[in-house]
Structure 1
Amino acid sequence: MKSKYCFAIAVVVALSGFSAPAFADGDAKRGEALFKRVCRACHTVEGDQNRVGPYLAGVWERPVASAKGYHYTKAMRAYGDELGKWNEAAMEAFLMNPRKTVKGTRMAYAGIRELGPASDLAAYLKSLPTPE
């Protein structure tokens, strides 16, 4: 009887890891500071004006490659067709290594090499309102 309880507890503990988020929750304030240092030259977060890169206001859970008025590469549009909408895992993977995530993207930035700052930036992008 004791072994059944131990087995059940082991199963619950093992499965609990699968329900945890794939990435740690980020800090939006740190993400905003990071955005200002490395992203602001090419992207806006207010309104729907594109720069070298597309505007990012409302990017969270919107369809990939869908900023109006921005001309995406064929590779980015194909990635959008495959993925659908941005989500946490896809956003953090792209932020960490855009050119590996989407071979053929125009994004020149090499990426954020550590998960913590990538999570922070993703949290900031998640907090941005959709432009009106």
Structure 2
Amino acid sequence: MRKISYWFVAFMVLMVAVSCADYDEGLDILSLDVQLEFPSSYDGAHNGLRVELQNGVASTFVDSTDAAGVAHFRVPSGLYKISCSARKETYDYRYFFNGSRAQVVVSSDSSRVVTLPLVMSKKRIVH
């Protein structure tokens, strides 16, 4: 009777080890570039604007744009909301930018560049 229980325990340990060996827990991490589309009336710098990606479980990824107006991300595949709400100042004006895009699919089959149109408002700075 005791021999059977040892064989049973050994068999169960072997089955658990084999089942764990086949389990892949890794996430697909993909690169995604968000290209901001500025209004034609804006001729200032495109760098330094904050861009956020938020997935379905409220994980938020943040980056700032480079000189070309592109934010570069490396995120797990999934469904994301992209948003940008930023402010830029020059000597004479304060510019406000807002843009949002929902239901953006990030997968190995989807596009690696997403364009986000921005709406701009400006306020004159009185010196």
The structure richer in strand per residue is: 2
TM value normalised by structure 2: 0.35
The structure richer in helix per residue is: 1
Using CA pairs under 8 Å that are at least 6 residues apart, name the structure with larger relative contact order, 1 or 2: 1
Higher gyration radius (CA):
2
TM value normalised by structure 1: 0.34
